Amino acid sequence: MPKDRAPTRIQQKNRAVILEAALNVFSAHGFRGATVDQIAAEAGLSKPNLLYYFPSKEAIHTALLSGLLEVWLAPLHALNENGDPLEEILAYIQRKLEMSRDLPRESRLFANELVQGAPRIHDALSTDLKKLVDEKTAILTRWMDQERIARVHPYHLIFSIWALTQHYADFEVQVRAILGDEDPFEGAPLFVETLYRKLLTP
């Protein structure tokens, strides 16, 4: 374990390589299903070498999750009260859909954690996430009060957006098994746009 100096070039590279490998493995097999050997192999390092950069499997997982939570919530963060309500919401949805397409591993990493009761990020959910969602639903509610979008339960509106968009990443096998050759991300954007336009147009 290096002292707490500025990270060397090698440290920077190897930490990044490890996190990338860990993302692959954890997202595909969950925390318990992933093995340190697997991550090390994926990263092209020996196991002891990997454990030189992170003290434990748990530490890698935690570093990954906390590092990605910000990225994951950025689109919701960007929801802007001063924009046009419907366009803001639709833009949020499209951004989430793009993330499902471009960052499916990240989506599955969180899905794995959540479906098993979020043992490692429960705190972040009821603090950071709840705070962000409360903030944004307040905006939604104000828009509804001003009759700029139709009135619906704001929390369930957020849940529905998460569910719909992340479904394509989290349950990709199922979607592909049913769609066959058709690219899910061909029809999805139009479908969800139609859906939320109809739902929210006052």
Partner DNA sequence: TCTTGATTTGACCATCTGGTCAAACTCACG
Partner DNA sequence: CGTGAGTTTGACCAGATGGTCAAATCAAGA
Instruction: Say which residue the tokens 């990225």 belong to.
Output: 71
Residue 37, contacted partner among a copy of itself, DNA, none, CB below 5-8 A by kind = DNA
Q: What 8-state DSSP symbol labels residue 8?
A: P
Least spacing, CB of residue 44 vs a copy of itself, in Å: 23
**CA–CA dist 30, 23 (Å, integer):** 10
Q: Contact between 2 and DNA (CB under 7 A)?
A: yes
Q: Does 29 participate in binding a copy of itself (rule CB under 8 A)?
A: yes
- Choose the stretch contacting DNA; rule: CB under 7 A; options: 10-18, 76-84, 111-119, 168-176: 10-18
Q: CB–CB of 39/18 below 8 Å?
A: yes
Least distance from a copy of itself to the Cβ atom of residue 52, Å: 26
User: What angle, rounded to 10 degrees, do the helices at 36-43 and 9-33 form?
Assistant: 140
Site string for DNA, 34-63 (x = CB under 7 A): xxxx-------xxxxx-xx--xxxx-----
Q: Does 10 bind a copy of itself (CB under 8 A)?
A: no
Residue with tokens 């963060």: 77
Name the residue nearer to a copy of itself (CB basis): 29 or 47: 29
Q: Please, are residues 90 and 76 in contact by the beta-carbon 8 Å criterion?
A: no
